[in-house]
Structure 1
Amino acid sequence: MNIPTTVHPNTRNATIDGWRGLSIILVLLGHTGRAISQNNILARFSLADEGVHIFFIISGYLITHLLLTRIHSAAKEAQPIKKFYLRRFLRILPAFYAFHLILLLLRKVELLDFSNELFLKNILFLANFNFLGGTWILGHIWSLSVEEQFYLVWPWAVYYLPIARIKWLCLVVIGLSPLIRALNYLYPTYSDFWAGGFFQHADSIAFGAMLSLLIYTKQERILNRLRNPMLLLGLAGLSAVIWALKYIPHTSIITIPLYYTVFSLFFSVLIWVSMAEKTTAVFIFQALKNPVLGFIGKISFSLYLWQQLFLWPMEYQSASSGLLFQQIPYNIAFVGLAGVLSYFLIEKTFLRLKGSWQL
């Protein structure tokens, strides 16, 4: 088996862009379904959360790969932590704060309504914790908050810990997350204040990080086993069964803690298989390199930021302004337009600084 060699950390991976594109499509389909009605198939069987967790896996994989390359490899750089945070700043914050500035302007002209407290909670990346409540227009920032909190800790762990210890840390997080989800299910009022907001989702990030560690250390025996078709079929079947059972109230105490652990393991393996050279000829993995899907993946962050402004769930529409850009099908076009403009006018403008600053 040919394990992917370390590439320059700024090199784009077409397969990963395809996964990003697929992830944001799942999010958009789920939210579009809710904007149409509460009972259509897209809303009832939404895969929006699954799309977000695929994003978490990708983030764990890519960030760990970047850090390992810049800290532990022969290509290691000076001041890697400082440069890491500069890159994250340029990648995330300009588009993020531009979006929030527009929200403030829309509130000023009374087209939107949200409290200052919720707005502050968002811009401080605390939206994943259950205090001060929430609102639809700001609610999706919970997932970005999870990632930002991951960025606060993970670079230091990779910098100071030996790789074997980093692997154990991933395993601890993977084992802890289902327990936190069980506590959150049983005692939601309490657990979400201290740990639930992060650890309910952290195993998805940890699986992505573990995949990066296995590839980086060339664990051929383990990686070869992960490509076993029977393992993939078994994980796919188990994920599907738990996904179906989570809609049955009496099984929730089992399925809610376990579902995203099994799901994240399955998709981590699937992402690895899609990147392995011997499987790139398989049609389904070649489809990930489709240029249209890749472009959607490239602008996925901007799409993620803006989509909730336009895709209002039907149950909230009576409280909204009823504007054209929040009505089907115009809102779908506005999501695409906002995503493209945000990417080319804001994201790309600031990403160019990475080159000029040699980041």
Structure 2
Amino acid sequence: MPTVEKSTVVAKIRPVAPGSIANKSQSASTSHLPALDGLRGLAIALVLITHCENALHWTPQSDFFVKAVHKVVCFSTCGVDLFFVLSGFLITGILLRSKNSANYFKSFYVRRALRIFPLYYLALALIWCGIKIWGEPPDALMGMPADRTWLWFYGTNILMTLRHTWTYSSLNHFWSLAVEEHFYLVWPFLVMALETGPLLWFCLAAVPASLLIRAAFVYPLHNELAAYVLTICRVDSLLIGCFIAIVAYLRGPEILKRSAVAVALGMAVLVPIFIGVVPHASNTDRIWGPTIFALLFASLLVLTLTRTECKHFFENRVLRVLGKYSYGLYIYHFIVIVGLEHLWSWNALPPVPNYLLFLFVASACSMLIAVTSYQLYEVHFLKLKKYFQA
């Protein structure tokens, strides 16, 4: 999820002669691209939109407008696919630029640890201490005691796969953090082992393979949850982002501009049809949804890199602020939502106003906690990253 370093983009690089690959990382320059923070802000906004709907158990009846809004809100689960595409793109860019560095692995893993672990383990420790002091909450806030070891070792999605069920109540959303952590553990070794050409083909082959594995979990194995949360079933979104990063590294993002426009136009037609026809969380959605939405967000990413109007839109301050604090928002928001769910007393309102009010309150509370956490706690670890440059 939203744990990537500040958004950077590789400067356009002309092809070089064989054998001169060492010059690529030296000639590549990086600059902060605020629009990618805005894309990350869109991703966390989509996550907040869908998880607030989950909390209200909103089941619209006959009103067409209400049903249409509800359908779109449900499919906002695709926000996690945008996070995955961005992670694949940004992490691969970092790895390619530092590939010839003597401290390639040390720099990457220490910097990742400084960004991810302090907040992740603080959240787990605070919840664990709260349980020890006040006792087990009615909704098993952190899952059953026997299952909590999996949380500490980023194994939430593995246990969910084995159990065929959501296991951790208000920490169920940690499954996506496990997916990203598994990706971080493996991908640097593949980037180091393979030249950019074979790495590109690996991405192209692994995307349909991931989709086929999802289909296998849904139909022969009848484990729909595994198709949604298991790392190998969600790696297509990450690798689509990786593919864009490799092409941008070799030739610059401009080479993708024309195809991105075509894909974006195609997705603009396909996605509304998909949302309108396919029931949310159905088998068809489980199999095809992640890849379709990943392609949509990949085209949006390339357009943001190459088209001024897209770049300016995602540079707006609201999305950038959401993007800056997206990791803390992701960690804390579902805990806040579960707490508000038990306190909410505005259900007499019509469904859409009630939902919008709940979304506003939950988002504001989550943002307050995330900003406080970032400024008082996380920033001290982030300052240490300067000592581990590649």
Structure 2 length normalisation: TM-score?
0.78
Instruction: Give yes or no for contact 1:137–1:308 (8 Å, CA) kept in 2.
Output: yes
Is the contact made by 1:90 and 1:350 (CA closer than 8 Å) also made in structure 2? yes
* Structure 1 segments unaligned to the other structure (5+ residues): none
Q: 1:15 to 1:85 in 2, by over 3 A?
A: same
2:385 aligned partner: 354
Relative to structure 1, the CA distance from residue 80 to residue 28 in structure 2 (aligned partners, 3 Å threshold; closer, same or farther) is same
Q: 1:195 to 1:53 in 2, by over 3 A?
A: closer
Q: CA deviation at 1:31?
A: 1.4
Aligned counterparts of 2:257 and 2:264: Cα–Cα separation in 1: 12
Q: Match for residue 247 of structure 1?
A: 279
Q: Which of 233-242 and 170-179 deviates more?
A: 233-242
Size of the aligned set, in residue pairs, is 338
Equivalence map 1:275-290=2 (5 Å): 275-276=305-306, 279-280=307-308, 282=309, 284-290=310-316
Counterpart-to-counterpart distance in 2, 1:140 and 1:146:
11
Distance, in Å, in 2 between the alignment partners of 1:195 and 1:323 is 29
8 Å CA contact 1:18–1:294 kept in 2: the answer is yes
Q: Give yes or no for contact 1:227–1:273 (8 Å, CA) kept in 2.
A: yes
Aligned counterpart, 1:53:
81
CA contact (8 A) 1:56 1:147 kept: yes
Does residue 17 of structure 1 match 2:37? yes
Match of 2:144 in 1: 115
Partner residue of 1:97?
121
Superposition map of 1:202-351 within 5 A: 202-218=235-251, 222-228=255-261, 230-247=262-279, 252-276=282-306, 279-280=307-308, 282=309, 284-312=310-338, 322=343, 328=358, 331-351=362-382
Q: Within 1, Cα distance between the matches of 2:260 and 2:171? A: 40
**Are residue 126 (structure 1) and residue 155 (structure 2) matched?**
yes
Aligned CA distance change for structure 1 residues 248 and 52 (closer, same or farther; 3 Å): closer
Residue 5 in 1 paired to residue 12 in 2? yes
The reply on whether 1:155 has 2:188 as its aligned counterpart is: yes
Match for residue 38 of structure 1 among 43, 54, 58: 58
Percent of paired sites with the same residue = 29
Residues 255, 116 of structure 1: alpha-carbon distance in 2 compared, 3 angstrom cutoff: closer
CA–CA distance in 2 between the matches of 1:48 and 1:188?
27
Task: Tell me: CA distance 1:4–1:270, structure 2 relative to 1, closer, same or farther (3 Å).
Answer: farther
Pick from 183, 205, 211 the counterpart of residue 178 of structure 1: 211
Task: Give the partner amino acid of 1:307.
Answer: H
Q: Give the TM-score normalised by structure 1.
A: 0.84
Aligned to 1:81: 105
Q: Tell whether the 8 Å contact from 1:167 to 1:210 is kept in structure 2 after alignment.
A: yes
Q: How far apart, in 2, do the equivalents of 1:144 and 1:91 lie? A: 12
Give the CA RMSD over aligned residues. Answer: 2.9
- Deviation, structure 1 residue 306: 0.4
User: Paired residue for 2:232, among 191, 199, 209?
Assistant: 199
State the AA in 1 paired with 2:49: L
Q: Which amino acid aligns with 1:272?
A: V
**Pair 1:305–1:254, CA change in 2 (3 A):** closer
- 1:161-218 superposed Cα distances (whole Å, 9 cap, x missing partner): 1111111111121011111121122145568779971122111001000000111110
1:324-359 C-alpha deviation (Å, 9 max, x unpaired):
9xx957544321111111222222110100114446
